Structure 1
Amino acid sequence: MKPFSGLPLSQAMLNNLETLKYINMTPVQEVSILPVLEGYDVLAQAKTGSGKTAAFGIGLLQNLKVSRFRVQSLVLCPTRELAEQVSEELRKIARFQHNIKILKITGGLPLYKQEHSLSHEAHIIVGTPGRVLKLLERGSLSLKELRTLVLDEADRMLDMGFIDPIREIISYAPAKRQTLCFSATFPEDVKKLSRSIQNNPVELAVDREHDSTVIRQMFYHAANMDKVKALLSLLNHFQPGNVIVFCNTKDVCRKVNRALTDAGLHSLMLNGDLEQKERTEVLIRFANGSCNVLVATDVAARGLDIKNLGAVINYDFPFEGETYIHRIGRTGRAGEEGLALSLIQPGEDFRLDKIQPRFEEIPETDGDGGQFPDSAMITLSINGGRKNKISPGDVLGALTCSGGISGDDVGKIDRQDYLTFIAVKRTVASKAIEMLEKGQVKGRRFKAMIND
């Protein structure tokens, strides 16, 4: 692996990357950052979790004209969750330079608030196609000075039917621009889109397949009536720490989540019926260790990036091979071994024609879910966040002051605009709530509650 120090980056950028523990580049970063810096269009294929955000983010931030307070870069993402993750990553990389404004524009939030934010301009917009297009049509967003357009997870955006909105958005952008397209797969519709919107792109393909030495893939025959019991047996036997269980439909998703809850597991569900604020809370609680099992559909989980995911279980095997690749690619990242377990019903073997699996016997357990580890953390929240100028340090200080609780008992702190979620060990939850309710955060009192 090559170090970032070998790139033509400013010393301030290199110092910040070192602070972020970005020492050596991932394969996709090695081959794509330099073409991005030099202004070329790029068409890059790399699996989920390969470092794509930094691959395009370092280049567009280094090339930014900070003194020119206009939208110079637009990053389009298929989902709100991915847009949140990308914007947070870009903000971290942007710390090398003061006064860089990055604005997230997605649905699920009041339009007038986003229009108010846009009235003060921004350097980089990260958003979903639907909301970005609506703001362009209303004249609230201008792309007249756009220099770089990024399509992140292009294949997923096309799968979700965003081809027309993407073309409409591009019609508002200058013809002379840099266009970067990152995709986990290269189906024909992605290649066709690239030909129509990119100018002689540098084509790159790295980390396309999930090596069996990185992700251990195991397959199990299970009759439909035994699937829940089989799922519990796999959880009890492998005890992966945290796991995403994939279902093909919302109805099955609800059924599985209910069965796991009845078995005594802390399980959360992610499907298309959830409101945005519910989706956000579910993802935060799963990512911070307050819940060990997330039951999800593919549509709801698109763009989901959970670090250090122990396993993926296909409760329902997907209909398409590319969907399988996307699912299992969420485990086994950053050089760690991942685990992908799949339950196959009678008559579904034809879906495995390109995989050639070796079937295993479902491990014998009592199936009551008791052996699977309970989540060690629990999530608290206060009704104040980023807009209230609250920092994670303010919250940590409020919890640990005057002999409250130990800093070792506090986990991840996630700030939203007007909410902050705090993971603490379950053993100190009551004490932590007391500290937040009776004490002050940044000189103010906020309402606190347990999210469980």
Structure 2
Amino acid sequence: MERIKLESRDEMPMKHAETSTANADPLLAVSVPSDATAFEGKPFDLTDAVGIRIEGGDGSHAMFRSLEAAELPEMMASNLKEMNVTKATPIQLLLLYLIKHKFEHDVLVQADTGAGKTLAYLVPLVSLIHSMRICSTKPAPFRPFAIIVLPTRETAMRVATEARQLVKNVSAQVAMSFEQMDPRETARDIRNGCDIVIGTPRRLLSHVEGGMRGIDSGIGGIKMDNFCWLVVDDADSYANDQEFKRLMDLLCPHSKRLYVFSTSLSKNESDQFKRYMKSTAPFEVFGCRKTINFEWREVTTTDRRFQLLSDLELIRAAHEEMPKTVVFLDDKVVCDSICSFLNVNDILSLSLSSAANKEKREDVVSSWTSGKYKVLVCTNVAARGLKLRNVRFVINYDFPDVDTFAYRTLNSNRAGYRQHVITYFRQGETELARKTIEVLNRMRKAIPDFLYHNAGMQVPERD
């Protein structure tokens, strides 16, 4: 095993590493030029300034200059301030404009975690629903205007929490549904009237099928009379989900518009979603990529534990304090074992796996988020279900499947911030090496020679 020397807190020399050169400025606010055409209440073209690429649609690149320019209902603006949202990200300003003023177009968005995708669809939808319902006293039973699909309980709960904060004292109601939730609670909310239903594919499918059969059966059947907007978030999570496909087949013929959000989609995945869209020219929006340093380790199974300890000790030595670090593994038993090993060796760590119940997961994430512990050792539950903010180092202890590798890389940090990804790769994984080379080529990242060797491929000549 070769140890690496970390020379400073700001730079880490890497073996088999390549650094992207994307704009590294955080997308926390929009810097608006002093242009006479960019006046309050009117859209303007800021896409070049903020690093957003737009394709398709009607060719428009217009977006709002600020939240104030979007003229949101007064209570919504107040709710956003209570949520500590005083400035919008570029993605949010663009989607506010597209959803409110380009209703004839579907939209497909690919942008990093931290770009503000959740509020990018919640804010315009709540604003539109408020305008549609402003003269009515309460929503119609069983007849939502919008359905939002999310892959896991954790993501559904997170988005529903934000939505309920946003609709406080606003003419809009939110219902939530996922497998582990008491269906009677959702049925009550749907029966009493809700404008937005947020849930996972399996539970939403039961509501939609019940509504289409004309029976409630205690599950809160959803009817399509008012249905306008279908939102699919974390769109790269449904590749082999047959219940999701069935749900889309049922909902899309009734929806007026489809809005798809993801960190990254392959061309094939994008094309599949476009087939569900009704507009012939959907808008495609691409956000900035964040700066990522890749480093690779070719290790044996017996070496990995000590390589991990060595890497974490070097990372800690190169910083005033241990930066936030996530270690991903496949096995929940190994997860706890590695966490104990690190703690014994003075690396304060927490473990998180699918074996933990809801309260345990929330407690672990809270302790890690607060900064009490800086190292989180976890299985795929954290990669797919939880939003882990401001992670400086990601260590793939077990090399995952290539889709999970891409998802972990792109979803464990906020847009625009430096991140360092260290991946351990065992010898002899021929097919996995080939697929990894394909993914790295798509990401336009340098490929270490040993991956070509493991794949049985010739190392290409480099300039």
TM-score normalized by structure 2?
0.67
How far does the alpha carbon of each residue in 1:281-334 deviate from its partner, in whole angstroms, 9 at most, with x for none? 4434433445433323335531421222232211122331x4333212234415
Q: Which amino acid aligns with 2:410?
A: G
Query: Corresponding residue for 2:227?
Result: 146
Indicate conservation of the 8 Å contact 2:114/2:413, yes or no.
no
Query: Secondary structure at the residue paired with 1:146?
Result: coil
User: Kindly, what percent of the aligned residue pairs are identical?
Assistant: 25
Indicate conservation of the 8 Å contact 1:74/1:126, yes or no.
yes
Post-superposition shift, 1:159? 4.5
Residue of 125, 128, 147 corresponding to 1:74: 147
Post-superposition shift, 1:252? 4.3
Residue of 217, 221, 229 corresponding to 2:294: 217
Q: Tell me the distance in 2 between the aligned counterparts of 1:336 and 1:189.
A: 27
The answer to whether residue 387 in structure 2 is matched with residue 310 in structure 1 is no
Indicate conservation of the 8 Å contact 2:118/2:159, yes or no.
yes
Moved more, 280-289 or 325-334: 280-289
- Residues 229 and 198 from structure 1, CA distance in 2 versus in 1: closer, same or farther, beyond 3 angstroms? farther
- Residues 161 and 131 from structure 1, CA distance in 2 versus in 1: closer, same or farther, beyond 3 angstroms? same
Post-superposition shift, 1:192? 1.7
Post-superposition shift, 1:60? 0.2
Q: Tell me the distance in 2 between the aligned counterparts of 1:49 and 1:167.
A: 27
Query: Secondary structure at the residue paired with 1:340?
Result: strand
The answer to whether residue 279 in structure 2 is matched with residue 199 in structure 1 is yes
Q: Tell me the distance in 2 between the aligned counterparts of 1:263 and 1:345.
A: 24
Query: Corresponding residue for 1:329?
Result: 410
How far does the alpha carbon of each residue in 1:310-359 deviate from its partner, in whole angstroms, 9 at most, with x for none? 32211122331x43332122344154332322223334565346332569
- Residues 223 and 110 from structure 1, CA distance in 2 versus in 1: closer, same or farther, beyond 3 angstroms? same
Query: Corresponding residue for 2:36?
Result: none
- Residues 274 and 218 from structure 1, CA distance in 2 versus in 1: closer, same or farther, beyond 3 angstroms? same
Query: Corresponding residue for 2:313?
Result: 236
Query: Corresponding residue for 1:93?
Result: 166
Query: Secondary structure at the residue paired with 2:303?
Result: helix
Query: Corresponding residue for 1:115?
Result: 187
How far does the alpha carbon of each residue in 1:102-126 deviate from its partner, in whole angstroms, 9 at most, with x for none? 2221111222333233332222111
Question: May I ask how many residue pairs the two structures share in their alignment?
Answer: 352
> Aligned ranges for residues 125-164 of structure 1 at < 5 Å?
125-138=197-210, 139=216, 140-144=220-224, 145-164=226-245
- The answer to which structure, 1 or 2, has the higher relative contact order (CA under 8 A, 6+ apart) is 2
Residue of 420, 423, 427 corresponding to 1:346: 427
Query: Secondary structure at the residue paired with 1:126?
Result: strand
Q: Tell me the distance in 2 between the aligned counterparts of 1:54 and 1:13.
A: 12
How far does the alpha carbon of each residue in 1:228-254 deviate from its partner, in whole angstroms, 9 at most, with x for none? 111122222223433221124445435
How far does the alpha carbon of each residue in 1:419-452 deviate from its partner, in whole angstroms, 9 at most, with x for none? xxxxxxxxxxxxxxxxxxxxxxxxxxxxxxxxxx
Q: Tell me the distance in 1 between the aligned counterparts of 2:191 and 2:367.
A: 33
Q: Which amino acid aligns with 1:235?
A: L
Post-superposition shift, 1:226? 1.6
The answer to whether residue 265 in structure 2 is matched with residue 186 in structure 1 is yes
Indicate conservation of the 8 Å contact 1:328/1:340, yes or no.
yes
Indicate conservation of the 8 Å contact 2:327/2:394, yes or no.
yes
Could you say what the CA RMSD is over the residues aligned between the two structures, in angstroms?
Answer: 3.0
How far does the alpha carbon of each residue in 1:134-158 deviate from its partner, in whole angstroms, 9 at most, with x for none? 2334421323222211110112123
Q: Tell me the distance in 1 between the aligned counterparts of 2:240 and 2:124.
A: 27
Query: Corresponding residue for 1:28?
Result: 91
The answer to whether residue 118 in structure 2 is matched with residue 53 in structure 1 is yes
Q: Can you give the 5+ residue segments of structure 2 that lack an aligned partner in the other structure?
A: 1-29, 31-64, 211-215, 317-321, 450-463
TM-score normalized by structure 1?
0.68
Q: Tell me the distance in 2 between the aligned counterparts of 1:338 and 1:87.
A: 29
Q: Tell me the distance in 2 between the aligned counterparts of 1:356 and 1:93.
A: 43
Q: Can you give the 5+ residue segments of structure 1 that lack an aligned partner in the other structure?
A: 360-452
Q: Tell me the distance in 1 between the aligned counterparts of 2:313 and 2:375.
A: 12
Q: Which amino acid aligns with 1:136?
A: V
- Residues 253 and 81 from structure 1, CA distance in 2 versus in 1: closer, same or farther, beyond 3 angstroms? same
Q: Tell me the distance in 2 between the aligned counterparts of 1:203 and 1:303.
A: 27
Post-superposition shift, 1:130? 0.8
Q: Which amino acid aligns with 2:181?
A: L
Indicate conservation of the 8 Å contact 1:43/1:201, yes or no.
no
